[in-house]
Amino acid sequence: MAQRNLPQSKEALLKSYNLRLKEDVKSMLENFEEIIKLARAESDSQLSKITQCEQDTYEMQVRAANIVRAGESLMKLVSDIKQYLILNDFHSVNEAITANSQLFRSTQAECDRKLMQLRDEMAMDLYDLEEEYYTSVYK
């Protein structure tokens, strides 16, 4: 339901992310299952034991490399999703801007209030000093 309200490009991008996720996880699972199958008991084959061991070792290395590639692809996918959210999450950005704006306005109001209080105190002190000066006998 929520995806129907998304623009076409966002929906396509989310489907792409979902497809990448499923493909990478499937690749990791399939390769891991095949590695486990290679750890089977000895089977009768026409290949010599050494040749079979070398072949199994090579296949395990290739499958392990495929698992690593799928893991790196998943990490890249997570990075892409984070970047997408950071760049396109306007609601959160607007909330942060509004919160900062309110904070700065309240700070400005507090500074203005303190400056006005300081001005009033200085005006009263100046008035007292002027009164003392003009009424002084040492003038």
DSSP 53: H
> Which string of b and e fits 16-49 if b means at least 16 CB within 10 Å?
eeeebeeebeebbeebeeebeeeeeeeeeeeeee
Sign of CA dihedral 23, 29, 33, 36: positive
Per-position pLDDT tens, the chain of length 139? 444 455 567 788 889 999 999 999 999 999 999 999 888 766 666 668 888 888 888 999 999 999 999 999 999 999 998 888 878 777 777 888 899 999 999 999 999 999 999 999 999 999 999 988 888 877 6
pLDDT at 109: 97
Are the CB atoms for 1 and 43 separated by under 8 Å? Answer: no
DSSP 3: G
Q: How far from the centroid of its chain's Cα atoms is residue 125's Cα? A: 56
pLDDT at 4: 47
The pTM score is 0.55
